[in-house]
Structure 1
């Protein structure tokens, strides 16, 4: 891959970076997994589970040890990745309902839109959870619009929200897949509708029992969040969801190989309900959560093999990351905690999904470059997923100034391994809104009054404290010693910087 230099942007001083000539634009495959922790992969130190396909990406690319999702939950992380802005700047971007309206403004700049303008064919396959439809929400029995196609994707095949939320159907482009018009879908998140059994009323019908919540409509023996009736022919089979997503990804790759393409493959395996395919059931020794980690590794292997078979691997960038940190018990009795053994999903980091501590947002990030760039490198550069929009824009040779993209920076030199420092600072968002500010080796968590543990069941510290918290991450990566009282000037400095970022949007 040959890189040249060009920069006509005036909107971000770091936009001066390598780009590539049109005829050499690489394909981009972004595998974005759900609820995978910093310590869940053998390439990141896990010893109780093996992930050889993902490890191979690290062996052939760059493994980042200091990379962050923007939030400790999925909806805001995904919003930030696709828009280049922190989700807390937009009201209503907390964890979305299953029938939420589209959260991304169709008029704004997006990552797929940028790549599409550069001649890429763009596709999203898998978990969406960013809402669908207009202000009235999705019309499950008609044309579901706006959605991914209205924000820059050419093709979409979606789990509309999550596997534990109704409706349990796939949506391809603008319509529910396999929907029988004589059996229309009805959905409610407010009250029970229809006569389908629920986990609360009919626990004897369950093959997987809820541990908290998740006791509404039963689909495939699993009770979900929300009420649903109709669409029986369209219901997915939980055990074959990964195979369905891999199949649609392969078809997208095969149909797009005559031009540069961007595939956003958003896997669901680790998110509850964890239902491993028969190929993986019992194989990890750690119960369903361990089994679906093996299943995720299989997915990565299938995608890499497809690229090899189509002679595309040598011109494809593969990015692998997670949307937030891990959670063990998140609504179902699947023995994830009982069978955990010595495995540490956060890699020893404090907190987890939902948390203000690093266990909530510090995630795996692996990038395999097609030219073997920095093969086998481990980078400690500070990286935020909010930067992928401007980074991919630079990669594709797009030099337009995007005035509506506030927070994204061009980090191409960082992702190429040429810059080992990375960002000066970044912001993290935890459940219910409190923000953290990381600058260099230091982290500040703004004070908030709230529960010390996630209140609905998972045994995870929220990080909520009435006093400001300050940690030196290099010396104390597990955030055990609050240094706020010892370094009050840093607390004041970071509080002021965070306040300024909230108001001004200066992202340098």
Structure 2
């Protein structure tokens, strides 16, 4: 089967070849009954492209109901793949979210975040059990482009993101990635890094001239094309691209003009001015409260920022179109899986908040699209309501490549959901979510004295750390370090904008208790999971 992906037209065209059958081979299987060469076997394993944006809220796409954002190529990816309507982040802030998706482990397990006591680097041993490392070990060519977002060191050490002049990320992850381009080194010990060092195309993209000619997202796209240009047909590949977009709009300003006069729709739970209904501990301590006042609390502020975000989303969408066209023209698309998601959501005025991390839907709900070029045309283009979590990403990527996920991984492999062989009555009925970021801990964590400061913050009742669960119908979470604890319960089927907290409603006491126990059980399982 050949899939023709043409950005200049409005749909995909298909032509079929009945002679091609794609098989998945598990790592380590010995082929005893056929004489396929290594190159033949490698060519049958699917290529994988993992695309991640930064801070892109789930409803910033046409395929999720807001065509005003003009994400035409991503929408076509969804039309011909599987679009998940109930995908959630295990944690919704960039550094720990990225580590969770690479390792298949929760923040409470890997502890790689911004603030003590969850502010470690990722150890070499833990990185060796990430999806890129295991794919590399299995014979894949691996590449990474964009925002890596965390530091890897021999042992996990604190704090996690101070700059160190002697830090060399190539020494830490160079044996895992054949191709690497991160021009900023955000939230890592080091700065920009590129390899192979002798790749003239890579050098040109990130030269001073290249930077002047192209905005950051377009440089990411050029590097993505360069990786494909240097790809052998005799080896499968996994390319991870983490765009720096869609952060506030001073980078990809070239596309802002497209939206300069557009009036974007405003979510019904956007709050003008301060939101007096938020828990006091959130309003007084979470940075998103004041950031909303400063950035999104008036209609003019809201529209100005949403235009900038839309422009950056548009620039990412253009790169997705170029990617799919390139894969089609080079004959690779019919054996390539493309996964699109973001690292976390963003409130942008909903609930009277800006920022992310807190466990309301705008922060925690994820865009997730999976396109599999091996899937026959009649089976393409569907929406999936099954619950999946960002912690499920790594084991699923490995399984798609025919590799059994290691026991270290805590997420679930959702390939059976993708191919519709899963008995959904036995699939996970809840996903666990947590926020362990406290802005009041940032400076203390940077100085290395965060453990004592953390205890003082908890004792002064300023902690808004929370965890909870999302089921198909319900959302429950608890600010568990506050005294007394503060709980929130929402019937998402009737109140998807989370405006009616049902915790004190006696009619829902049974559900409340059930979800309390579910949260405790999942948390206990996570922190007691044995990591080799």
TM-score by structure 2 length? 0.67
2:48 pairs, out of 17, 23, 28, with: 28
SS at match of 1:471: strand
The alignment of Structure 1 onto Structure 2 pairs a total of residues equal to 406
Alpha-carbon shift at residue 91 of structure 1 (Å): 3.1
2:48–2:238 CA contact under 8 A, matched in 1:
yes
Alpha-carbon shift at residue 442 of structure 1 (Å): 2.5
Alpha-carbon shift at residue 253 of structure 1 (Å): 1.4
Q: More helix per residue: 1 or 2? A: 2
2:113–2:120 CA contact under 8 A, matched in 1:
no
Alpha-carbon shift at residue 155 of structure 1 (Å): 1.9
Give the whole-Å Cα distance in 2 for the aligned partners of 1:21 and 1:177.
28
Alpha-carbon shift at residue 494 of structure 1 (Å): 2.3
Q: What is the aligned partner in structure 1 of residue 525 from structure 2?
A: 501
Alpha-carbon shift at residue 444 of structure 1 (Å): 1.9
Q: What is the aligned partner in structure 2 of residue 68 from structure 1?
A: 88
Q: What is the aligned partner in structure 2 of residue 382 from structure 1?
A: 387
**Equivalent residues in 2 for 1:162-201, closer than 5 Å:** 162=186, 170-173=192-195
Q: What is the aligned partner in structure 1 of residue 180 from structure 2?
A: 156
Q: What is the aligned partner in structure 2 of residue 110 from structure 1?
A: 130
**Equivalent residues in 2 for 1:280-359, closer than 5 Å:** 280-285=255-260, 287-328=307-348, 353-359=356-362
Alpha-carbon shift at residue 326 of structure 1 (Å): 2.2
1:442 pairs, out of 474, 484, 487, with: 474
Deviations 1:35-70 (A, max 9, x none): 111110011111322111001101111111101122
Alpha-carbon shift at residue 128 of structure 1 (Å): 1.1
Q: What is the aligned partner in structure 2 of residue 123 from structure 1?
A: 143
Alpha-carbon shift at residue 304 of structure 1 (Å): 1.1
Q: Which runs of 5+ in 2 are unaligned?
A: 1-20, 30-39, 201-206, 263-306, 439-464
1:381–1:419 CA contact under 8 A, matched in 2:
no
1:477 pairs, out of 488, 492, 496, with: 496
Give the whole-Å Cα distance in 2 for the aligned partners of 1:48 and 1:298.
15
Q: What is the aligned partner in structure 1 of residue 513 from structure 2?
A: 489
1:27–1:316 CA contact under 8 A, matched in 2:
yes
Q: What is the aligned partner in structure 1 of residue 296 from structure 2?
A: none
How large is the Cα RMSD of the aligned pairs?
3.9
**Residue 365 (str. 1) matches residue 368 (str. 2):** yes
SS at match of 1:480: coil
Q: What is the aligned partner in structure 1 of residue 17 from structure 2?
A: none
**Residue 403 (str. 1) matches residue 407 (str. 2):** yes
Distance 1:317 1:491, change over 3 A: closer
Alpha-carbon shift at residue 174 of structure 1 (Å): 8.9
SS at match of 1:256: coil
Q: What is the aligned partner in structure 1 of residue 230 from structure 2?
A: 255
Alpha-carbon shift at residue 88 of structure 1 (Å): 2.3
TM-score by structure 1 length? 0.70
Q: Which runs of 5+ in 1 are unaligned?
A: 10-19, 179-231, 329-336, 338-345, 451-463
Alpha-carbon shift at residue 149 of structure 1 (Å): 2.4
Alpha-carbon shift at residue 427 of structure 1 (Å): 1.5
